[in-house]
C-alpha cells in the first residue's frame, strides 16, 4: 500500500496545532496525543530507515571501488551490520504502521494440560512447563506456579504458570494449541515410539477495568488441600474453588496456606480466562472463516511437533523445522518465537489498513 509521507507530515502538524488550543476537551486531547505519538514514531522511523539505506548504498559503493584486499573484510562486516540494522528498523516501522495487539506488553497466565497419552502425556506437560520457565528466566521474567496437579511419576495433569514481564503475551500468545510429542516412553520395553499430546492456553493478564465480575455470579467453595505441603495440609480449609456461573468457568487454587491468598490467585486466573473467552468470541464474530483463539488458530490446532528420536522440532504455524530439540526443550525457543512473530507481522500487513 502506497503511503504519502508528506500527507502524514501535514497530519502531524495539524494535530500539533489542535493540541495548542486551550478549549480542547480532555478526551479529544488524549486521542490526538496518541495519534501524534504514533505519527511521530512512524515518521522518525521512516527517516532513520532512509538514512540507513543511504549509508548502506554508500558503503557498498566504497567496497566496490576498494583496491586494498586487507580492507575487504572490514567492508563486508560493515555491510552485514548495516543490513541487520535496516531489517530491524523496517520491523519497527511495520509495528508502528500496523500496530500489534495492544495486550502484547502484558504478563500472562499459561495453562498446560496433559492430553492423549496417559502418564507420558503428563510427563510431556511437565517438560513443556520447564521449557517455558527456562525461557522466561533467560528473558528476565518472573515465573510462579499458580496451580499444579501432578502425577506419581513426576508429570503434570495440569499446571498454571504466571509469567510476569514486559512483552510476555506478544512473544508467547501463539503457543496456544495442541503440542505433540513423539518419543519412546521410559515405561516402553519394546522400544516403540509413542505419540502423546498436551494443550497450551496463553491468556493475557486481565486488568481490573476490563473484566467486571458480579460477586453474585460466583460460587466459592473451600476445602482442604491435598498433596505434599507440610503440616497445614489436610488441617485447614485453605483450598479455594471459584465457579463463574454465567460462563461455567471454574478455577481452583490450593498452593498457598492462606485461604485469602488462594482466593486472590484464583480470581486473577478467572478474570484472565473470561477475558480470553471474550476476545475469542469477538474474533469469531469479526471473521468466521478465521476462527481465532487469542490471535492465532483454534485451540484444537496442532501447533508444534517434538520428535525426540530425530532431535527435531517442527512448528506448523511458522513452517519451521529445527534439528536441536534437545536445546529447545531446555528453553532455547528464541528462533521459533521470532519466526512466529515475523509471520504475525506479515499477516497484520495483509489484513490491516493504514
List, in sequence order, every beta strand (DSSP E) within 177-301. Answer: 177-183, 194-204, 218-223, 239-244, 249-253
Q: Measured over all CA atoms, what is the biggest interatomic distance in the chain, rounded to whole angstroms?
A: 83
Beta-carbon contacts of residue 50 (< 8 Å; ≥ 6 apart): none
Phi, psi of 259 (to 5 degrees): -60, -40
What is the pLDDT at residue 12? 93
Report yes or no on whether pTM surpasses 0.95: no
- For every residue of 109-146, DSSP letters joined together read EEEEEE-SSHHHHHHHHHHHHHHHHHHHHHTT-EEEEE
Q: How far is CA 273 from the centre of its chain?
A: 15
pLDDT for 353 equals 58
pLDDT tens for the chain, 354 residues: list them. 456 888 889 999 999 999 998 888 888 888 899 889 889 988 999 999 999 999 999 999 999 998 888 888 999 999 999 999 999 898 888 877 777 777 888 899 999 999 999 899 999 999 999 999 999 999 999 999 988 888 888 899 999 999 999 889 999 999 999 999 999 987 677 878 999 999 999 988 877 556 777 888 888 888 876 654 444 444 566 788 888 888 888 888 876 777 888 888 888 888 888 878 777 776 665 444 334 443 333 334 689 999 999 999 999 999 999 999 999 999 999 999 999 988 988 888 777 655
Q: No. of H helices and E strands in the chain?
A: 8, 11
Using the 8-state DSSP alphabet, how is residue 250 labeled? E
Instruction: With both helix axes pointing from N to C terminus, report the angle between 26-65 and 72-97 in degrees, rounded to the nearest 10.
Output: 160
Query: C-alpha cell of 188?
Result: 516402553
> What CA–CA distance (Å, rounded) separates 57 from 55?
6
Strand partners, 108: 163, 204
Quote the CA–CA distance of 112 and 183 in Å, as a whole number. Answer: 19
Class at the top of the CATH hierarchy for domain 108-210+290-351: alpha beta
* Dist. CA 113–CA 116, nearest whole Å: 10
Contacts 24+ apart (CB under 8 A), 316-324: 317/174, 317/343, 318/342, 318/343
If DSSP codes are grouped into helix, strand and coil, which group holds residue 190? Answer: coil
DSSP assignment, residue 205? P
Domain boundaries, the chain: 5-97, 108-210+290-351, 215-285
In which residue are the cell numbers 498452593 written? 255
- Residue 111's pLDDT is what? 92
The fold of 215-285 is Double Stranded RNA Binding Domain (3.30.160)
Amino acid at each position: 500500500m502506497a503511503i504519502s509521507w508528506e500527507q502524514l507530515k501535514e497530519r502531524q502538524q495539524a494535530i500539533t496545532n489542535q493540541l495548542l488550543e486551550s478549549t480542547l476537551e480532555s478526551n479529544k486531547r488524549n486521542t490526538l496525543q496518541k495519534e501524534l505519538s504514533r505519527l511521530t514514531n512512524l515518521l522518525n522511523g521512516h527517516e532513520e530507515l532512509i538514512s540507513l539505506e543511504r549509508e548502506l548504498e554508500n558503503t557498498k559503493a566504497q567496497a566496490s571501488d576498494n583496491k586494498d584486499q586487507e580492507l575487504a573484510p572490514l567492508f563486508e562486516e560493515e555491510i552485514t551490520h548495516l543490513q541487520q540494522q535496516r531489517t530491524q528498523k523496517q520491523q519497527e516501522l511495520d509495528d508502528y504502521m500496523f500496530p500489534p495487539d495492544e495486550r502484547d506488553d502484558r504478563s500472562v497466565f499459561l495453562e498446560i494440560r496433559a492430553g492423549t497419552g496417559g502418564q507420558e502425556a503428563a510427563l510431556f506437560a511437565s517438560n513443556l512447563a520447564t521449557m517455558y520457565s527456562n525461557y522466561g528466566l533467560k528473558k528476565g521474567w518472573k515465573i510462579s506456579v499458580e496451580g499444579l496437579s501432578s502425577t506419581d511419576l513426576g508429570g503434570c495433569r495440569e499446571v498454571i504458570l504466571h509469567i510476569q514481564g514486559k512483552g510476555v503475551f506478544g512473544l508467547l500468545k501463539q503457543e496456544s494449541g495442541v503440542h505433540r510429542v513423539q518419543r519412546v516412553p521410559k515405561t516402553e520395553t519394546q522400544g516403540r515410539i509413542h505419540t502423546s499430546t498436551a494443550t497450551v492456553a496463553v491468556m493475557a493478564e486481565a486488568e481490573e477495568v476490563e473484566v467486571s465480575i458480579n460477586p453474585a455470579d460466583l460460587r466459592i467453595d473451600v476445602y482442604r488441600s491435598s498433596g505434599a505441603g507440610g503440616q497445614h495440609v489436610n488441617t485447614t480449609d485453605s483450598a479455594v474453588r471459584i465457579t463463574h456461573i454465567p460462563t461455567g468457568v471454574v478455577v481452583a487454587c490450593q498452593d498457598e496456606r492462606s485461604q485469602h491468598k488462594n482466593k486472590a490467585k484464583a480470581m486473577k486466573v478467572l478474570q484472565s480466562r473470561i477475558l480470553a473467552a471474550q476476545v475469542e468470541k469477538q474474533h469469531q464474530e469479526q471473521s468466521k472463516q478465521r476462527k481465532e483463539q487469542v490471535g492465532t488458530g483454534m485451540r484444537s490446532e496442532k501447533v508444534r511437533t517434538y520428535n525426540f528420536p530425530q532431535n527435531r522440532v517442527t512448528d506448523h504455524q511458522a513452517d519451521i523445522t529445527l534439528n536441536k530439540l534437545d536445546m529447545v526443550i531446555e528453553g532455547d525457543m528464541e528462533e521459533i518465537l521470532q519466526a512466529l512473530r515475523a509471520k504475525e507481522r506479515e499477516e497484520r500487513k495483509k489484513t490491516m489498513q493504514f
